[in-house]
Each structure stands twice: as C-alpha cells, then as structure tokens.
Amino acid sequence: MNKKVDTYLDNLNNFQQELKELRKIILDCTLDEAFKWKHPCYTYNDKNILLIHKFKEYCAISFFKGALLKDEKNILFQQTENVQSSRMLRFSEIKEIKKLESVIKSYIFEAIEVEKAGLNVKTKKVADFNVPEELSEKFDKNPEFQEAFKALTPGRQKGYLLHFGQAKQSKTRTTRIEKFEKRIFDGKGMNDCVCGLSKRMPNCDGSHNQLKN
C-alpha cells in the first residue's frame, strides 16, 4: 500500500469511505498501488490500468483503456464527448459499491487481460476530424489564428473541432468559434484553467467561481 494514497484518502472531505472501499476491492485484484497525477493509480507490470478519484457528485474508477472493455452490464461512462479511450464506473454510495463488488472485480480483471494482450484503443487523429466551413473561413481571414490553433496539442485541437462541428446551425458554429478565440490564442484547451486557481492544473476544477463571490 502506498503512503501517499493513505494521505490522499485521509484528507478527503467527501466520498472518503467510498474510495477506501474501492481501494480495498482493487487491491484484492493483485494490482500495484501508486500515486500519479495527484490520484491513486493502479498498475499491472508498471502499466497503468485504472485511477480512483472523486468529483462533486460521485466518485469513480477510471479505466485507462475502458473503451476496450465489453461492458456487459452497460455501466461504463464516457466522461466527456472528447474522451476516446478511458471509461468510468461511477458511485455515489458505499452500499452501491459493496453490492457491485463482484462486478467491479470482473471489470478490473478484464482490464488486466486487455493490458496483458497488448491491446490499444485506436484513436482518431486530428486529420480525421472535419474542419467546419466557418473555421476554415476564419483561418483564411486570420492566418495568425490558424497558427495559434495548429500550435495547440492534438487533443485540444480535437476537442475544439468536435465542439464546433457538433453545432447544427452555421450561426451557432460561428458563435462558438468567436467565444473560444482568445482561449485558443492563449494556447488553452476547452477545459483548461484560465484563472490560475485550479488545483488540477492544467484542467479546470471550477475554482474560477471563487472570483464571482
């Protein structure tokens, strides 16, 4: 057991018992415990299998290659539309975790087998995403904006292309592009912190709401 995980769990102000129960279940599955990205992380032969963490309304197990799991119980969640590989099991009460213990273990063992087999999620490249006409026009009018967009990491580019392209109306697509223009020039993704207060940098954790108080 990892002492950093002990400290992390002991300092939680909510979902503490739930995450401790998940930890016990996970360790029963012969995974090694580490502390990565400020969260308990569980590995097999030094390969990342899953994380446990908490959110405002639930705690979760996140499988790094969850998209490859069969999910026979249909209980895995895709955290956001941009996430291609990882999938979550979400819980809000400890009794729910205890009731599903055998199911949780079966998903963990399946994730281990996926890693043993050397399987990988086939993810889309930036070139696989359609560039909305409105964004192309913006690039033509403002080459510096195009350079700023292309300077973003592939993941951030994909997020924007997906968000812009999902709007059904041209007016909405244009509005979305204009809304995120400054953020793109600043090298930020859609979900990156821009206030500097987040404890989950570079991701936003909602700390900007303090500025409104």
Show me where the domains of the chain are located.
Answer: 3-116, 126-212
Give tens-digit pLDDT for 116-139: 999 998 877 888 888 999 999 999
For residue 71, which amino acid is it?
D
| pLDDT for res 192 | 86
* Per CATH, domain 3-116 is 3.90.1150.200: yes
DSSP, residue by residue, 139-172? HHH-HHHHHHHHTS-HHHHHHHHHHHHH-SSHHH
Q: pLDDT digit string (tens) for 146-178?
A: 999 999 998 899 889 989 998 999 999 999 999
**pLDDT score, position 21:** 98
Given a cut of 70, whether residue 208 has pLDDT beyond it is: no
pLDDT for position 84 = 78
Alpha-carbon gap, residue 182 to 194, rounded angstroms: 11
Within 10 Å of residue 109's Cβ, how many Cβ atoms?
13
Among residues 79, 81, 45, the alpha carbon closest in space to that of 63 is found at: 79
pLDDT of residue 213 exceeding 60: no
CA neighbor of 190 nearest in space, from 167, 156, 166:
156
